[in-house]
Structure 1
Amino acid sequence: MTLSSWQEKAAAKAATTYSKIPQAWRLEQKDLNQAKQQVQLTGPFIQSFLGEKEKEIINHDTTVLAKKLASREYSAAQVTEAYCKTAAVAHQINNCLHEILFEQARERARYLDEYIGSHRKPLGPLHGVPVSLKDQFHVKGCDTTMGYIGWIGTFEGDNDPSKVRKVESQVVKELLSQGAVLYCKTSLPQTLMYGETINNIIGCTLNPVNQRLSCGGSSGGEAALQALGGSSVGFGTDIGGSVRIPAAFCGTYSIKPSWSRLSYRNVANCNPGQILYASAVGIMATSLETLPFMMKVLLDTEPWRRDPEVVPIPWRPEVEQEVLQRGRLTAAEGDRRPLKLAICWSDNYMSPHPPVTRGLKIVYEALKGIGYKAIDWNPPSHQALSQLHLDIIISDGGHDVNKQLDLSGEPIIPPIRETFKLREPFTAIKCQELAIQGLELCRAYSDYWESTANDDGQVVDAVIMPAAPHAAVIPGKYFYTGYTEVFNTVDYSSAVFPVTKADKAVDIADPNYKPFNEVDQKNWEAYDPEVYHGAPVGLQVVARRYEEEKVLAIARIIDQVLKKNNTTL
């Protein structure tokens, strides 16, 4: 294609998406202008465009919505309409949707209302619950572009009529089987491989909590939509932090399971042949309680029967309960095994900005206040694990990325131009060497974790650490993803929760700061208290492989303690 044709095709796609917004929900120019002038779009601003009942509905979390739908207090049509309208407004003021499925959602809601009326029971635990999806998941009847112009109107660039808009991701099938309503697909960066959300189809999605900052990536549209109230639960993917970074930046919750806990079957991906450090399907939500609820809903369908890559581990409520029980008792009350948690103040490669450090201190003091053991975390080099992860990601020499770009002739987005510049791919021998190196690094990390029992005979249960070295990030100044991608390399379970917000009056830069390296100094100099003011500060809690039940139980305990202390968002 010529330069003009890819631009025209992108513009046509964006216009088609916009055209699916009902006329009654379209904002006037004065409203759009006002939105551009706002720092914060969440809460009162976006809700000013909604009715009272709509506000009531979207302010419930998924677990409450599911109960109200099952009891018929709300109809599926009523809830679907509220979320479709909120998503429509969100897209107009925040540019966060790739696909609008409102008509399909309305039809689905009508079917569900008829079903519960005639059967006197819900279709499943998600009966009538609206679920949003990152634009990697295939839904019948609509595109999956993954930010590539060359994928518009195709199946991942393929024009095979038996596949175009006819393939369905396994997770999508599972959600529908449990009663979910699918109503939109959200924005992501071209290639997925960037910590911000920007592509040549719709441009950039900013942070609706603070529009001077990025919403993160690659599941940035999901987090932005949830922060705006346009979704209570959605699905993303994570190969280097992609469900954790956006949740931390936008003040929401997420979980990255070990990669084979949920099905990735028929989910689009960048460089899909690279499975040494595979991408994981993750869940993002407006409440922590939603995450275990959704994990259980999906695992109850026994996804391993349809996807041989999924480990046959059902949801284990007994693990949750055992951790929660330990969390209720303190050492002072006679518990012989109080929770033992570690705090990673810094990975000694990239210094956290002042708001993030303060967030860690808030959690540390809260844990000490209820009698938990809390130690410092000084593991083997995160930078080595991060670099290995990057080496594997680019091992094909950028051939897959450039192949997709060549379909339309569109340029690669500037921030990743150098990373995915076309070059000779690694040889099989080189990839094998990296695999061996990775195994050694993973073993060293596991050995360090085990060594935490040396002093008291008790191994650390989980680690609390930054999800990123900053509270959100100034667009174009994301220099390091090591705090998240290290746990893709070792394949550990990780959940993100909000702690506080950046405060220009409190979060003053340390005058004694000394950089670890040039990149660290560059990141430190990007901190501006005025710009960051009000940005969410999210942290991650990390447990080991396949410990999703444990990591969510610990996150729940911390979240409850913070709320009790009135220190959360």
Structure 2
Amino acid sequence: MTNPIQDSVQPWQEIAAKKRQAEQSKIPPEWILPTSVVEGAKHRRSLTGPFLESLLDPKTSRITAMDVAALIQHMGSGTLTAVAVVRSFCKRAAMIHQLTRNMLEIGFDIALGRAKELDDYFHQHRRLVGPLHGIPMTLKDQFHIKGLETSMAFVGWIATFEGLRSTDKERNFESELVREFHLLGAVPIGKSPETSNNILGYLWNPHNQLLTAGGSSGGEAVMQALRGSAFGIGTDIGGSVSMPASYNGVFSLKPSTGRISMKGVAGVGQGQQVMPVVAGIMGVSIATLRAVLESLLSTEPWLRDPYAVPLPWREAEEYHADTHGSLAFGFMEHDGIVTPHPPVQRALKMVKITLREAGYNLVDWNPPSNRESLEIHGKIARGDGCVDVWDALQLSGEPEVPEIDGLFESGLPRKPLSLAEYQDVVIHMKDYRNRYQEYWMSTAEKSGTGRPVEAFISPVTPTAAHLPKQFFHAEYTTSINVLDYPAVVIPVTFVDQNLDKIDPSFVPLSETDRINMDAYDPAAYHGAPVAVQLVGQRLGEERLLSLAQIVVDALDKYKERAAVVSANK
């Protein structure tokens, strides 16, 4: 909806600058980095590892290195307070923001106030408030938190409620998911931006600052890569959680629609419910993803959100390592359209060898083509002409960022699909889903277990991150949204310019494949994380996460053996 009260006096650049200054002022003076450090960081290849750790005191470094389970154990035993934990992550997040500009909303004071309440509760009752007691978290700036703004990085949404002025909701409204985290004891410390926006600018990959952080939940992926919070929440309609998680070397879960509540979440295309945006979880381990999802489901969100699926956590659906030899995975090396870059090929090969050595069966995955998902996804996601995005930009007069060049035509929204055209696309989607499911069930004939494959492995994208504006094929992830399957991203390795070179015998599968491979530069990509995705059956998040843990454990053992062999050479 267009805001009838447009601020036509103040240029959008000034509004954005004031917003940046306002958030910067929330950082305590003792956490401010020297200008020389901030400027020097811009010229570093990587911000990870020793460089960032050198900026932290030992206590902050020690606490922020712990995963969710360890933090809960320490707070439950009283050896750490919630205030100490939250303060450490806030301090680290403040430094990360100064180096990367990846916090649209800073809520350190609110977070420390909540941490004090949690400590008081623990001292009085000698128990934790909930399973995420005192755990610092961050969210993409689509989720409303009382006391903070929600701009979604639109300049025109600053100091409004989703672009509207004079409402009683600005800084006074809470998304259902945030309410659930409050009940569980988790502590939001701030909110992250879209990867490219007119308030903070472009977000680079902290492992390799020549490359993108991925989008659109790139801010949250950077936060997790640099450990600015213990876990994060992004949003996804076409890979917007999976891609940045892959590019930044962190784990993620994109669930099926309805497993995590989206009630009261800001966004565009709100009326599109055929293939809705979902909330996804990012963290440094499968155990973290599992703990967050299981905790959320314990709050029974379907009692408050009619679009949440009434499905509690199902422990009986999980697989365990003692099922050795009785599991089969589908395996997609490429989708017949675009070949992954050499480092992604190497990561896939590592996973294939790992699973075979561990005794699991692999089935070549040849489902209905990803090319069909390309025909479906864009028409559903953008079938309205993206008029709400255009309206949001008009509030301030800000331009569209380069990543959405072509979204509009002659500076105006494109003509939306007619209802009949839209229904034809939905019919195609239903047929595609039916045929994909039939194919999946048919794999029982080849699996060697008597059952269809439990999940399939594929590239997340054809690239390990990518140079700006050098991304040509999203269908490895958009197809998963079209199908409404859950997907887990599993980091595998890093680009090595000495190992990951284009095979001289490479023959492109398509013109897009040729363009994509021509864009690969081993030296430019060196050091970037490489991941794969594990995809499961719709609403099968419990099973998928347990399978992902099996893959991770097998990979860890494979890497240990490889390290021993290398050391003995």
SS of 1:254 mapped into structure 2: strand
CA distance in 1, matches of 2:50, 2:315: 37
1:110 CA drift (Å): 1.0
Per-residue CA distance 1:504-524 (angstroms, 9 max, x = gap):
111110112222222222111
Conserved? CA contact 1:79–1:128, under 8 Å:
yes
In the TM superposition, what is the alpha-carbon distance from 1:20 to its structure 2 partner?
A: 1.0
Match of 1:351 in 2: 339
Distance in 1 (CA, whole Å) between partners of 2:185 and 2:394 is 39
- Residue 371 (1) aligns with residue 382 (2): no
Residues 349 and 516 in structure 1, CA contact (< 8 A), matched pair in contact too: yes
- In structure 1, the partner of 2:288 is 290
TM-score by length of 1: 0.95
- Pairing partner for 1:565 from 548, 552, 558: 558
CA deviation after TM superposition for structure 1 residue 329, in Å: 4.0
Determine the structure 2 residue equivalent to 1:309.
Answer: 307
Equivalent of 1:460, from 453, 456, 462?
453
What's the offset of the Cα at 1:4?
6.5
* Residue 91 of structure 1: how far off its partner (Å): 0.6
CA shift digits 1:467-494 (9 cap, x unpaired):
1110111112122211111010010011
Letter in 1 for 2:128: P
- Per-residue CA distance 1:76-101 (angstroms, 9 max, x = gap): 11011100010000011111111000
What is the identity, as a one-letter code, of the residue corresponding to 1:508?
A: K
Structure 2 residue aligned with 1:334: none
How many angstroms does 1:3 deviate by?
Answer: 9.5
1:250 aligns to what? 248
SS in structure 1 opposite 2:509? coil
Q: What is the alpha-carbon distance in structure 2 between the residues aligned to residue 514 and residue 548 of structure 1?
A: 37
Q: Distance in 2 between matches of 1:543 and 1:369?
A: 22
Q: How does 1:374-523 map to 2 (within 5 A)?
A: 374-421=362-409, 422-455=413-446, 456=448, 457-523=450-516
1:33 to 30, 39, 42: 39
Separation in 1, partners of 2:558, 2:359: 15
Deviations 1:89-147 (A, max 9, x none): 00111111110001101111111111111111111111111011111100011111111
Matching of residues 130-145 of structure 1 within 5 Å: 130-145=136-151
8 Å contact kept, 2:407–2:414: no
- Aligned match of 1:175 in 181, 185, 188? 181
SS in 2 for 1:74: coil
The code of the aligned residue for 2:432 comes to L
4+ residue runs of structure 1 moved beyond 3 angstroms? 1-4
Match of 1:119 among 103, 120, 125: 125
2:321 is the counterpart of 1:330: no
Once the two structures are superposed, the pairs formed by residues 217-232 of structure 1 within 5 Å of their partners are 217-232=215-230
Identity over aligned pairs, percent: 43
Alpha carbons 2:154, 2:393 under 8 Å: kept: yes
Tell me, in whole angstroms, the C-alpha distance in 2 between the residues paired with 1:69 and 1:218.
34
Give 2:264's aligned amino acid.
N
Indicate yes or no: 2:25 matched with 1:14: no
- Matches of 1:124 and 1:420, distance apart in 2: 46
Q: Distance in 1 between matches of 2:167 and 2:8?
A: 25
1:410, distance to aligned residue in structure 2 (A) = 0.8
Report the 3-state secondary structure (helix = DSSP H, G, I; strand = E; otherwise coil) of the residue aligned with 1:345.
Answer: coil
Letter in 1 for 2:498: A
- Look up the SS of the partner of 1:271 in the other structure: coil
1:361 alignment partner, one of 330, 336, 349: 349
Gaps of 5+ in 1: 189-196, 332-337
Check the 8 A contact 1:3/1:410 in 2, yes or no: no
1:535 to 522, 528, 532: 528
Between the aligned partners of 1:431 and 1:95, the Cα distance in structure 2 is: 39
Residue 548 of structure 2 corresponds to 555
Query: Residue 446 of structure 1 aligns to which amino acid in structure 2?
Result: Q
| Partner AA of 1:117 in structure 2 | H
Instruction: Give, in angstroms, the shift of residue 564 of structure 1.
Output: 1.7
By how many angstroms is 1:71 displaced?
Answer: 1.6
Distance 2:362 2:151 in 1: 45
The SS at the match of 1:389 is helix
State the partner residue of 2:566: none
Matched, 1:99 2:122: no
Is the Cα–Cα contact under 8 Å of residues 389 and 485 in structure 1 kept in the other structure?
A: yes
Return the alpha-carbon distance in structure 1 between the equivalents of residues 230 and 244 of structure 2: 15
Partner of 1:193: none
CA distance in 1, matches of 2:489, 2:317: 19
Segments of structure 2 that go 5 or more residues without pairing to the other structure are: 1-6, 564-569
Any conservation in 2 of the 1:386–1:489 contact (CA below 8 Å)?
Answer: no
What SS class does the counterpart of residue 349 from structure 1 fall into?
coil
Q: AA paired with 2:287?
A: E
Partner of residue 213, structure 2: 215
Deviation, 1:349, is 1.2
TM-score normalized by structure 2?
A: 0.95
Specify whether residues 557 and 420 from structure 1 end up closer, same or farther in structure 2 by C-alpha distance, changes over 3 A only. Answer: farther
